[in-house]
Chain A
Amino acid sequence: MNIIILGAGQVGSTVATQLSKEESNELTVIDINQQILSDLQDHLDLRTICGNGSYPGLLEDAGADDADMIIALTNSDEINMIACQVAASIFHTPTKIARIRSPEYLRRPGLFAENSIPVDYIISPESLVTEYIYHLIEHPNALQVLDFADGRAQLVAVKAYHDGLMVGRALRTMNEVVPGVDMRVAAIFREGESIQPSADCVIEVDDEVFLFAAREHIPIVISEMRKLEKPNKRIMLAGGGNIGGQLAAMMEKDFQVKVIEANPARARELSATLNSTIVLLGDAANPDLLVEENIESMDVFCALTNDDEANILSSMLAKRMGAKKVMSLINRAAYVDLVESGLIDIAISPHQVTIGALLAHIRRGDVVAVHALRRGSAEAIEAIAHGDRASSRVVGRAIEDIKLPAGARISAIVRGEQVIIAHHDTVIESEDHVILFLTDKKKIKAVEKLFQVGITYF
């Protein structure tokens, strides 16, 4: 696919890195900073153009005439919107994706339509990250919580502890341990390496286990890997920016929330928009402030500023001073590996969250959701099966009869309201949401193909 990416910032670079790994994509990246572009060019096989991406002339140079998709990811909502408009009006680009950050625009659904501002898909990294963190706080024991089929089924990543029911036992005994709950171990990561979750596989302490189940079963499922903690109550957010503000607004009804913000103007603004949240003006790395605000009784401390280093350090400080669990927003992938599960309980990588949402639009076949797991080393895909036995390669077949590429596994099927955990004899029907795991990303094309309907269907 011929793709133009606008903006080579943090989001843009991650997207470019991911997409350029897939051989069928031809990428052109536009940015106003030549330095960033040169760096990108050094490491990735793509074309870069320096300039303002919403100018028609520049888009033309970037090959907008025969581009299949434009992804506008600059940090300016307005430039992103105009770029999509230009791409639609002048170049008739089929798919236009724009990053929109400001809730002011997002609140008006009629705004982004073919005859007003022609954006096909809106990506809002801040909202996605906010939602992601919210899930984590909701489920105190999970490292990652992902929604499938509008939240009817969920995937949780849990770290196995001594006190988990299943720890030290083989997977085949799962049904004896918790009878009546259908679930599926989708993947196990041991010391960073993926291992095949076969029936004989024994779960060890410190394994990262990805479990799949219907939403209501998630707490029981988690209890297999570790003793359930008390639900979170008291939350402290360091950094009241876009994410911090949205998160506080979302949580303040159910939790006790405190937000630390260093910028007086922003703090005033927050206190005006938030109701029961306590907005504190100050530096999150100031121990006195933390002590004063009872850091030792906090269930979760969440560092959400733009600065990786500040986030890591303030989280470490909070942990040392007694916060039960600390989370930190970390943009640099190298830092994530460095601190996660050691100094910091959960490192949140905003790019991985965003890229998943974006990938869903880029995948062919009817793919609804794509989630990156373990910093992109594996992918969970939700695809809808269409057609009948003749036109589709999956419909009307039992799972054992489907020719899946190596490294791919079907974990579950969501049929209407019902979540069916996949067994070897489960037969897939038309309009089922099929949830797959893929540990080898090179096989992604094969999976897309599997879910494309033969020509006879139409």
Chain B
Amino acid sequence: MQLLVIQRILGLLMMVFSSTLLPPIVTGLIYQDGAVLPFVEAFVLTLVSGFLLYLPVYQHKKELRLRDGFLVVVLFWTVLGVAGGLPIYLSGIYEISATDAIFESISGITTTGATVIVGIDQMPHSLLLYRQELQWLGGMGIIVLAVAVLPMLGVGGMQLFRAETPGPVKDTKLTPRITETAKALWYIYLGLTIACCLAYWAAGMSLFDAVSHSFSTVAIGGFSTHDASIGYFDSTAIQFIAIVFMLLSGINFAIHFIAIRNRSLQPYQRDAEFRTYVLVLSVVSVITIGYLQFNHTFDSTTESIIEGLFQVVSIGTTTGFTTAEYYSWPGFLPVMLLYVSFIGGCSGSTGGGIKVIRILLLVKQGVRELQRLVHPNAQIAVKIGKKVMPEKVIEAVWGFFAAYFAISALMILLLMATGLNQETAFSAVAACLNNLGPGLGDVGRNFAYINDPAKWILCLAMLLGRLEIFTLLVLITPAFWKK
């Protein structure tokens, strides 16, 4: 472990990311909302502490090793998650507690979108934009951004990149140089955000709302500037725009990259993960709409279709926008939607959950086991598209799957021990671990009324979910710390 090198990079990253507090300051100045001071304080605090970390060790320039990468990424997400709560806490809005401020910040940066604040509509603009910005930064990944803007990370950048990118296969680069890959990803991300923003604006949102919601839509976050989320706008056009951009952001960005470079839609069609992603969402949509219609939850068929589709995409991609009170929908629907959020987005997207590719691999592996029972001597390769998946990847996926469920089971028990009921505990863990946002029961509308220990457990769940468990889990293994 090269602790001094890690300290240097951490200090550097903090200094760079203190600049993300500037847009809220500008917003605050424009709207004269009286919440500029906390941001200035937080900006100075982050910058100075980053500088103090960096200064004593600024000469320790060495390549990061694999292990250092894990530690930097985890430390950075934790430190930034906590430091991100600073302006919210300093603003003193609704006499927010430190726990709540940190929960809100981590929920933002992990793109979960679970909120503890009630009365969002009355909040100052600077604070509103800040919450959305946190989601936007967390969506593509702050480390990926760091790699794009800090070329000096070198090969070390690859180590960081790998520890942060979601998905089972992490070695695929879009371009030979890691910095270029990171830049390409951010350009696509930026492009989607701008397109989304313009579409919202054209559909009738105010410019501020359009920018804010484009941040949380493309990041698959789910924060809104209104308590009623997207439902506030009561506009079919806006719902459709949200559906389109949530869908797009849930696709592997590498496919977007290839499609843009080749100027063709073929890469989408050829990608097995994308096909599965669409298939899952379509089937679930059909079931949902059918069941809503069958139970006459909505007055008209059109309404069932729109609300059903919107909610399925929002929860299936783990965004977590709401228009209707989905947690009070009839029968199995709310729980089924939560299950879908476990599948989540595609690998290499901004979505959360287990990721479509892993589910696809698990299913194929399951089918292989069945085939082996029939043909004990058969050699069967697990293929995605036309490519054979290495056994190592399949093993890793099983390991991930097991860890994911072990962790969620453990957390449900812990939450119940703090006094939450079963429905609330289950849905809260699912909502946080999958980086979804809204749950069921007591956390259906927001997370304001659960106890503090539960919030801390859920903070951990959100980080575990965003960093795909192993990156964080590896830090608590003794082998990691052995020299």
Nearest-Cβ distance from residue B104 to partner chain A, whole angstroms:
37
Nearest-Cβ distance from residue A384 to partner chain B, whole angstroms:
30
Given contacts A34-B390, A38-B171, A48-B171, are A43 and B155 in contact (CB under 8 A)?
Answer: yes
Cα A26 to Cα B180 in complex, Å, equals 10
A26-B177, A45-B155, A45-B158 known, 9 other contacts, Cβ within 8 Å: A26-B175, A28-B176, A42-B66, A43-B155, A44-B155, A45-B176, A46-B177, A47-B176, A63-B176
**Cβ–Cβ < 8 Å partners of A44 in chain B:** 155
Task: Kindly report which residue of chain A lies nearest to residue B66, judged by CB atoms.
Answer: A42
Given contacts A26-B180, A34-B390, are A41 and B158 in contact (CB under 8 A)?
Answer: yes
Kindly identify, within residues 378 to 398 of chain B, every residue whose CB is under 8 Å from any CB belonging to chain A. Answer: 390
Question: Which one of A2, A34, A41 has the highest number of Cβ atoms from chain B below 10 Å of its Cβ?
Answer: A41
Nearest-Cβ distance from residue B217 to partner chain A, whole angstroms:
31
Cα A93 to Cα B171 in complex, Å, equals 26
Kindly identify, within residues 10 to 52 of chain A, every residue whose CB is under 8 Å from any CB belonging to chain B. Answer: 26-28, 34, 38, 41-48
9 closest cross-chain pairs (CB), A and B = A26-B176, A47-B176, A47-B173, A45-B155, A27-B176, A46-B176, A28-B176, A45-B178, A26-B177
Cα A27 to Cα B178 in complex, Å, equals 11
**Cβ–Cβ < 8 Å partners of A48 in chain B:** 171
Cα A63 to Cα B180 in complex, Å, equals 14
Q: Residue B124 at the A interface, CB < 8 A?
A: no
**Cβ–Cβ < 8 Å partners of B177 in chain A:** 26, 45-46
**Cβ–Cβ < 8 Å partners of A27 in chain B:** 176
**Cβ–Cβ < 8 Å partners of B166 in chain A:** none
Kindly identify, within residues 52 to 68 of chain B, every residue whose CB is under 8 Å from any CB belonging to chain A. Answer: 66
**Cβ–Cβ < 8 Å partners of A42 in chain B:** 66, 158
Kindly identify, within residues 170 to 184 of chain B, every residue whose CB is under 8 Å from any CB belonging to chain A. Answer: 171, 173, 175-178, 180
Nearest-Cβ distance from residue B393 to partner chain A, whole angstroms:
11
Cα A51 to Cα B391 in complex, Å, equals 17
Q: Are A45 and B157 in contact (CB under 8 A)?
A: yes
Task: Kindly report which residue of chain A lies nearest to residue B154, judged by CB atoms.
Answer: A45
> What are 5 A-to-B residue pairs whose CB atoms are below 8 Å?
A26-B180, A45-B155, A45-B158, A46-B177, A63-B176
**Cβ–Cβ < 8 Å partners of B178 in chain A:** 45
Nearest-Cβ distance from residue B352 to partner chain A, whole angstroms:
26
Nearest-Cβ distance from residue A39 to partner chain B, whole angstroms:
11
**Cβ–Cβ < 8 Å partners of A34 in chain B:** 390
Cα A42 to Cα B65 in complex, Å, equals 9
Cα A125 to Cα B478 in complex, Å, equals 46
Interface size, chain B (Cβ < 8 Å): 13
Cα A230 to Cα B231 in complex, Å, equals 95
Main secondary structure on chain A at its contact with chain B? mixed
Nearest-Cβ distance from residue B392 to partner chain A, whole angstroms:
9
Nearest-Cβ distance from residue B432 to partner chain A, whole angstroms:
33
Nearest-Cβ distance from residue A140 to partner chain B, whole angstroms:
41
B171: contacting residue among A2, A28, A41, A45, CB under 8 A: A41
Nearest-Cβ distance from residue A224 to partner chain B, whole angstroms:
40
Kindly identify, within residues 144 to 161 of chain B, every residue whose CB is under 8 Å from any CB belonging to chain A. Answer: 154-155, 157-158
Nearest-Cβ distance from residue B38 to partner chain A, whole angstroms:
40
Cα A197 to Cα B176 in complex, Å, equals 39
Nearest-Cβ distance from residue B348 to partner chain A, whole angstroms:
15
Cα A2 to Cα B175 in complex, Å, equals 10
Cα A45 to Cα B64 in complex, Å, equals 12
Instruction: Encode B66-96 as 1/0 by CB contact (under 8 A) with A.
Output: 1000000000000000000000000000000
Instruction: Encode B401-422 as 1/0 by CB contact (under 8 A) with A.
Output: 0000000000000000000000
Nearest-Cβ distance from residue B55 to partner chain A, whole angstroms:
26
**Cβ–Cβ < 8 Å partners of A43 in chain B:** 155
Kindly identify, within residues 380 to 414 of chain A, every residue whose CB is under 8 Å from any CB belonging to chain B. Answer: none
Given contacts A26-B180, A34-B390, A42-B66, are A47 and B158 in contact (CB under 8 A)?
Answer: no
**Cβ–Cβ < 8 Å partners of B175 in chain A:** 26, 47
Cα A26 to Cα B183 in complex, Å, equals 15
Cα A44 to Cα B171 in complex, Å, equals 12
Question: Which one of B157, B173, B176, B390 has the highest number of Cβ atoms from chain A below 10 Å of its Cβ?
Answer: B176
Cα A331 to Cα B158 in complex, Å, equals 27
**Cβ–Cβ < 8 Å partners of A63 in chain B:** 176
Kindly identify, within residues 410 to 455 of chain B, every residue whose CB is under 8 Å from any CB belonging to chain A. Answer: none
Instruction: Encode A354-380 as 1/0 by CB contact (under 8 A) with B.
Output: 000000000000000000000000000
**Cβ–Cβ < 8 Å partners of A45 in chain B:** 154-155, 157-158, 176-178
Instruction: Encode B448-465 as 1/0 by CB contact (under 8 A) with A.
Output: 000000000000000000
**Cβ–Cβ < 8 Å partners of B154 in chain A:** 45
Kindly identify, within residues 270 to 314 of chain A, every residue whose CB is under 8 Å from any CB belonging to chain B. Answer: none
Nearest-Cβ distance from residue B385 to partner chain A, whole angstroms:
13
Cα A41 to Cα B176 in complex, Å, equals 10
Task: Kindly report which residue of chain A lies nearest to residue B180, judged by CB atoms.
Answer: A26
Question: Which one of A2, A26, A44, A47 has the highest number of Cβ atoms from chain B below 10 Å of its Cβ?
Answer: A47
Task: Kindly report which residue of chain A lies nearest to residue B63, judged by CB atoms.
Answer: A43
Question: Which one of A2, A34, A45, A46 has the highest number of Cβ atoms from chain B below 10 Å of its Cβ?
Answer: A45
Kindly identify, within residues 81 to 96 of chain A, every residue whose CB is under 8 Å from any CB belonging to chain B. Answer: none
Cα A44 to Cα B156 in complex, Å, equals 9
Cα A32 to Cα B413 in complex, Å, equals 48
Cα A47 to Cα B155 in complex, Å, equals 12
Cα A276 to Cα B135 in complex, Å, equals 79
Nearest-Cβ distance from residue B478 to partner chain A, whole angstroms:
23
Cα A42 to Cα B157 in complex, Å, equals 11
Cα A26 to Cα B173 in complex, Å, equals 12
Nearest-Cβ distance from residue A209 to partner chain B, whole angstroms:
32
Cα A221 to Cα B439 in complex, Å, equals 84
Task: Kindly report which residue of chain A lies nearest to residue B178, judged by CB atoms.
Answer: A45
Instruction: Encode B196-236 as 1/0 by CB contact (under 8 A) with A.
Output: 00000000000000000000000000000000000000000
